[in-house]
Each structure stands twice: as structure tokens, then as C-alpha cells.
Chain A
Amino acid sequence: MTLPLITIDDVSIHYPLGRRLIGTPPVLKAVDHVSLEIPKGSFVGLVGESGSGKTTLGRAILRAAPITEGRIRYSDGDVDYDVGSLGKEALRDYRTRAQLIFQDPYAALSPRMTVRDIIAEPLEVMKLTKSREETDQRVREIAAKCRLNLEHLRRFPHAFSGGQRQRISIARALVCGPKFVVADEAVAALDVSIQADILNLLKALQRDLDLTFLFISHDLSVVAHVCDYVAVMYHGQIKEQAPTRQLFANPGHDYTKTLLSAIPSLDPDDRHRARVYDPDA
């Protein structure tokens, strides 16, 4: 039996909450005893309440958020890492294997760099190419895959709309050939047409490059279409995880049911007020 690419074992992540108090500040359990396996080559969806810890969990897998308790293991057949305790060399290597596509395309792109330089930066920082020609080649290839043209590469990100910027950050995340990608609201800023296009692209890359995705999204219709498995988070905990079809056809947890019932209907005559999930009910 092959190991999952990512094994999250009873992980908790705490942040201090509040600053005006004397003594030890109360902690916020952003992630609270979470366990999850991400099989190699799969597309795993992470959905749930806003503020429930999805981004924090994704960042912890990438070693960008502190792990308070528990263990995260990365194992791609080539290397086997305990993500929480990587040495300097191993961390450098891990950064080429695991990448993030950001939630907020505006915060993510430096305004003073051209699009070409933004996409090339990971290659240059990690010294993955031997010459400028090779870098340019890699940038052009991935840019074309993300449907950015040569003229776009010379421009600065401020001149792009939200959706266009998101394609730039996708190109940037994929340029160094990662095996694992956390896509955090990666298509939220895209219009439905480009969204369909990018999702098809991500699915094609998943197959062609044997990529594994943790796909964080609020758009349940999108998740239903692209993910193999779905995990539902509420208040720092995973409340339910199941193969996609099963979860949508037969939600087990009450929070999942509330979530599915809140998907906005395309029918203007099917308007109703929000149902609020009550964890104590």
C-alpha cells in the first residue's frame, strides 16, 4: 500500500487572541486536533465556515504557520519529511515540492515587478535554473499554460484585473514544478468562464504531472466538480470527510447539511433567508 502524500496527524494550531488583557492572553484554537490524509495524485477539497482554520491548516502543511501540537508528514516516494522539523537544506528542498496559490491576488503580487519577474522569482530565489534563457523558457511555458501572452509578461500587475492577476499567481506557483499544491480560493476571483478554463487546466495538470491538490474553496459547486474527496471544517475541526459524490448526495453532519442548503440558487424565485447552524442544537 502506498503512503498518502500528506498525512496530518492530530494537529492543533493556536494563536494568541486579544491584547488588552493582563496575564496570559487567551488562545484561539485556529486548528483543533485535525487528522486528514491526502492521497497522492488526488484533488482534496477543504470547505467550511469562514475563519474555521482552512488557510491556517494549508499554511501549516507548507510550513508557513506554526504547528502547536501533532505531526504533518510529507512522503512522495522520493523523500519522506516530518514537516514540523525540517532542517535548512530539507526545508529548501521542500519549498520546491510544495507550493501555494494565494487567496488574495492583490496582496500576493509585488507592484514593482513585471509579470515576468514575478513568475520567475521562485526559480531565481531557489536557484533552480542555470541561465536567464532557461528561466525565460520556463516562464514562457507556464505562462502559456495559464493563458498569459508575451505582452502580459512585460507589464506590471497593477494594470491587470483581479482574474488576470490570479492567473499570474497560478503560473508563479507552478513554475518550479511542485508535486503538491495548496490552492486557497484559487478561482474565487475568476469569472465563470475563466474559472471553468483554469479548473480544466488544474485537472489536466493533476493528471499530466501527477500533481496533488488541497483545494480550499467556498464554492461548493466547483468543489463538487473537481474534487475527489471533501473535508468539511467548522470551528477548527474537521466535522466530516467523504468522497465527493457521497458527501453531496448524503451529507452526514448537520453543519454540512446547513452548508449545502445555503448554496445560492440560480432561480430568482427561490429566495429564502439564511439558515444559521447551531452547534448546540
Chain B
Amino acid sequence: MSLLSVRDLTIRFRTDEGLITAVEGVDFDIAAGEVLGLVGESGSGKSVTAKALMQLNGKNTVYDPASHIVLNVPGQDPLEVLSLRRERDMIQVRGGAISMIFQEPMASFAPAITIGDQMVEQLTLHTEMGKKQARKHSIEMLDRVGIKEPDKRIDQYAFELSGGMRQRAMIAMALSTTPKLLIADEPTTALDVTIQAQVLDLMRDLVAEFGMGIMFITHDLGVIAQTADRVAVMYLGRIMETGPVREVIRNPAHAYTQGLINALPKLDDLDAPLTPIAGDIPSPLERPSGCVFHPRNPTLKPGSRYETEAPPMTEIAPGHFAALFPEDVPGQP
């Protein structure tokens, strides 16, 4: 059984304008020692999915009763995360078995407490360490994420750090408790590429050393290519394509994945125009019927089946699936 197993995850939000669907019927697994990359357009539900793993979505969240999130830490009973009700029960998950690097670095540091005090608090709460040892370990972690003079930086407040240092401090904090599963939501966007490369090394080391599983959310397909074993591509709350990273990047089967790869600025052709995927992201109140991507899919003809019917996940190559009807699988007659 996988470290994490998500089945049929559907997440809705109560809003003034009615119930909106942010995530619909999402399935994925993350094994110990495996890195799953999650990519997709802004608003596609990546952060909402990640937060569901620790029940961190807002009070207006409604999880569909069919949804399952099972955390299976070796040596412990499997845990059905969505059935945990009390804050007390959540503590073993949040910051214990699972750590999260948030997309919004400022939001995860309390403004009036130094970085060090927060890191020490985390460690004394979730590990056996005493204060002194926790401080020493925190300084080591700050050093490992490439923060210079960590013994001085540890006593600073978040607002005194540059964007990238703040992000690194958050990464250091999340990794310091050696979680079983790390959820990293855009962890390296504020970092320069050399520091980014160091942080990616550190994550890969922890995967190899402790068998940590990682859910890695990013817009940067290069970062995915460099870190992930498998990748899942999301659009409007649904997984459009998933598979081994080589397969998906080299032979993308879904028009949406192809559009994302096409939109990348290529270093080897600076004159090439930047080409966004045509059309707008629909309002969450007007979710398209059938395949949610159909209104923006340039390869479909009017009246196509995709307008009314949601395609199944069809296997294209071993372990490589896309939301396509079998007759549309590339290479089929």
C-alpha cells in the first residue's frame, strides 16, 4: 500500500454565489521515496488538493463523502485523513507525518516571532529534541538550504529576509522534522536557479536518505523534469494526464499538456513568440460539461463527444494515462 492514496477526491466550496467545484474525482498515489509532480493552470485546484491532505482548506470547504485520503505510515495504522475531526487528532498529521511548504511564504511565519523561535517550537512539539538541540538543528537546516550566516539569520523576523531567503527558511522548517510526506507548493519560485538547484539536491537527498515521499507542485516544467518520478497534469480540478515524467514530457497525449509545453519560453529560440493556450479559464460557476477542457481544445470539432461526455483515463503507454476516449489515443488507427 502506498504512503499516500487519494481516491475520488472532490472538493467544493460554499460561496455567496453558490457551491463551486474546485476539485473533481481526483485519484493519485505517492509511494515512500517517490516524487509526484503536480502541474496545471492557475486555479486548477493544486493548492486546494494539497491542503486537503492536511485538512487545511477554509471553513467553507465541503469534501464529497465519496472522497478518500489514506495516509499509510509504516508501523502505524492507516489513517483516513478526512475523517479526523478534532484538532488534537490532526497534530499527528500536520507537521508530524506530513509537512507542507506553503505557496505563500509570508503566511506561514508569524510576524512577531523570529524564524528561530518558530523552528524551535515546531521541533520541540513534533520531535524528542530539547530547546538547545532544536536550535542547533535549526541552524544546521538553514545552512543546508544555503542561507549564509545562519546563526545570525535565525534571530531575524520574516520581513527582514529577502523573498528567497524566506522561502528557504520555510523549506528548512518543513524539512527539519523529517516528515514522511512533504507537500511542496511552489517551493522554489522565489529562488535563483543556483539556489534552486541546491534545494532540489537537498530534497532528492532526503528522499534517498529517509524514503520521504514528495508531492511537488510547480508551474516550472523544468523543475518537474529535474525532480519528479511521475507527474500529474491538472486542469479545472481534474487530472488530464498522468504518467512517468519522461513519457509525459516527451510524448504528451492530451491537448492541454501539449499547450502547456508549447507555452514555455524556449531558450534555444528567442524569436519564437510566446503562445498561451487559447481562450479563457471559465468562471468556477460555469464549469464546462463533458471534458472540462473542451471549450479551449483546438483539436476538437464542433459536436464532438467531449462536449457532453467526460472521457475516462485511458492508458496510452505503461503507467501513462490521459483523459481521452480510446479512439483518440495517439498512434491509434
Contacts and interface: CB of A to CB of B under 8 A. Distances in A.
Interface of A: 15, 17-20, 47-52, 55, 103-104, 106-107, 147, 149, 151, 158-164, 185, 188-197, 199-200, 218-222, 224-225, 244-245, 248, 258-259, 262-271, 273-277
28 contacts: A49-B195, A50-B168, A51-B162, A159-B13, A161-B47, A162-B103, A163-B43, A185-B163, A193-B41, A195-B274, A196-B263, A196-B274, A218-B164, A218-B193, A219-B220, A219-B265, A259-B193, A263-B193, A263-B222, A264-B193, A264-B197, A264-B226, A265-B225, A266-B221, A266-B222, A271-B226, A275-B194, A276-B194
Contact of B15 (A48, A159, A267, A274): A159
B249 to A, nearest CB: 6
Nearest to A105: B104
Which of A107, A158, A225 has most chain B Cβ within 10 Å?
A: A225
B189 A193 contact: no
B198 A164 contact: no
Q: For the complex, would chain A's binding face be called helix, strand, loop or mixed by DSSP majority?
A: loop
Contacts of B189: 185, 188-189, 218
Contacts of A189: 42, 103, 186, 189, 219
Contacts of A266: 221-222, 225, 249, 264
Interface size bracket, B side? 35 or more
B42 A162 contact: yes
Contacts of B195: 49-50
Contacts of B245: 268
Interface string B45-78: 0010000000000100000000000000000000
Nearest to A216: B163
Contacts of A193: 41, 259-260, 263, 276-277
Contacts of A49: 192, 194-195
A269 B190 CA distance: 25
Contacts of A192: 219, 221, 260, 263-264
Interface of B: 13, 15, 39-44, 47, 58, 103-107, 152, 155, 160-165, 168, 186, 189-198, 200-201, 219-223, 225-226, 245-246, 249, 259-260, 263-267, 270, 273-277, 280, 283, 285
B275 A196 contact: yes
A162 B106 CA distance: 13
Given A161-B47, A263-B267, A276-B198, 12 more contacts: A51-B161, A52-B192, A188-B189, A190-B42, A193-B41, A194-B41, A196-B265, A218-B164, A218-B189, A245-B270, A262-B192, A275-B194
A65 to B, nearest CB: 12
Contacts of B275: 196
